[in-house]
Amino acid sequence: MNGALPEVEMVEVPTPSEPRHWDVLVVGDPADAMAGLEASGLVPGAELCGRPLRITRVTDDQAVAQLAEMRYHVTIVGTVEGSPRPLCERLRSTAPASMRILVCNDAATDLDASTLDELDLDPCPGHDPASLRSMLRAMLRHADGLVALEGARAETINQMTIRERLEGIAAMVTGITHDVSTPLGVASTAGSVVDETARRMLQGALRDDKERNELAEDLRDALDILTRSLERARRLIDSFKQFSSSQFSNERAKVQLADVVTDCVMVLRSELRRARISLEVHAPPDEDLRWDGFPGHLGRVLVNLLQNSMRYAFDPGKGGKVAIHLDRSADGNGFVMQYVDDGKGIPPEILPRIFEAFFTTGRATGGTGLGLAISHNIVVNLLGGTIRCDSTLDEGTTFTITFPAVAEGDGSQYVNGLQDIIPGNKTRPPA
């Protein structure tokens, strides 16, 4: 590592590209819908709203897997084995919000109006070709608008998150500069003592052995202070270098969990001190907590939690305590990290929403509502773990994070921890 801060690459979140086709997924046997499509001239390759139509037919047991592979604009459900409701529930939970689901007459007879409304389904007018063509045209245009909206929202989140992270790094630079200046100042003073003592000894202007021994003792003390101060400054700089570079890296690495936590604490020490927050890290001394994962992303989760404590957990000027506990999971195949503060706690009416994107009670103080949403996304989707929050008013808050010994996700697919923050937002573009 060369000591320079990493360059920040403004990476665009992948957004749905302009599709070459309108993609329609046909599930089961929608005889009336297929007849209606053919009667309307809506056969594969036919133009509709300026794009050719592409129709993919699958069985009901293939439908969910197919949706996971590619974005479809419309899905038509025909006659399937058994009740169509379980299939429609799986399709709706898998599909992006922009996709419409049409249910043909044979399948729709098993679904009442409340079910259609609950699952956001539409009856398919397969018996009326003109109505079917008109409905498809309206749905495709609506889906196209939603895809564009998803792209705009993703770009907005991307820019907000990059800004938040850069502001965080800037604050850490200020803090680390203050922290490093103290040991460097002490080292400078000790260096002056060493210089003066060495000059006197080299000039030979010493009256006796007693004075020589006193100067030698002063020299040893000054050298000891100089060495310890420079070592402290070196550790601070190394921690900041490691943390700042990993914050913009998606690389997988094998690390000791305690080292990841220590780096985060070191770079935030000045901010924590100003907030009057004391922090302790507890880890079993004889336990190997080696982890194969993404230290930059895990560090981002810890920084988000620490910044939330500084912003929300304690009254200004009062401060409090934070403890981070690391240990092996009960089955030995992963880790448990507990983050505990003794602050004000989270009101019960707010607690269920803390992991929602853009939800914040601190907009006036600079909160964006992205920190915990990104943390949840990183832990669940990249690390393959879980994150839970328990809180009691006036007693404090505990975040419990579990994750496997080997992270399950692909770091190259993550940009600022943003993927899948918005429910239903698929980043895979249409074919």
Q: Average pLDDT for residues 240-257, to the nearest whole number?
A: 68
Least confident range of 19-33, 231-245, 379-393, 409-423: 409-423
Q: Is 418's pLDDT higher than 60?
A: no
Lookup: tokens for 311: 């912003």
Would you state the pLDDT for residue 149? 65
Would you state the pLDDT for residue 119? 83
pLDDT band at residue 367 using 50, 70 and 90 as cut-offs: low
pLDDT digits (tens, 9 = 90+) for 88-98: 888 888 877 67
pLDDT band at residue 391 using 50, 70 and 90 as cut-offs: very high
Would you state the pLDDT for residue 53? 77
Three-state SS letters, 38-54: HHCCCCCCCEECCEEEE
Q: Average pLDDT for residues 352-371, to the nearest whole number?
A: 73
pLDDT digits (tens, 9 = 90+) for 225-240: 888 778 777 766 666 6
| Close Cβ partners of 199 (under 8 Å, ≥ 6 residues apart) | none
Would you state the pLDDT for residue 327? 94
Would you state the pLDDT for residue 297? 85
Of residues 377 and 168, more confidence is placed in: 377
Q: Is 2's pLDDT higher than 50?
A: no
pLDDT band at residue 279 using 50, 70 and 90 as cut-offs: very high
Q: Is 45's pLDDT higher than 70?
A: no
Pairing of strands 47-48, 51-58: antiparallel
Q: Which of 259, 302, 267, 261 is nearest to 280 (CA)?
A: 261
| Close Cβ partners of 92 (under 8 Å, ≥ 6 residues apart) | 101, 119, 120, 121
Would you state the pLDDT for residue 10? 38
Would you state the pLDDT for residue 334? 93
pTM above 0.75, yes or no: no
Would you state the pLDDT for residue 345? 93
pLDDT band at residue 426 using 50, 70 and 90 as cut-offs: very low
Q: Average pLDDT for residues 409-420, to the nearest whole number?
A: 58
Would you state the pLDDT for residue 238? 65
Q: Average pLDDT for residues 321-337, to the nearest whole number?
A: 93
C-alpha distances (whole Å) from 263 to each of 2, 4, 384, 420 are 18, 17, 23, 28
**In this structure, which amino acid lies at residue 316?**
P
State the average pLDDT for the chain.
75
Would you state the pLDDT for residue 317? 80
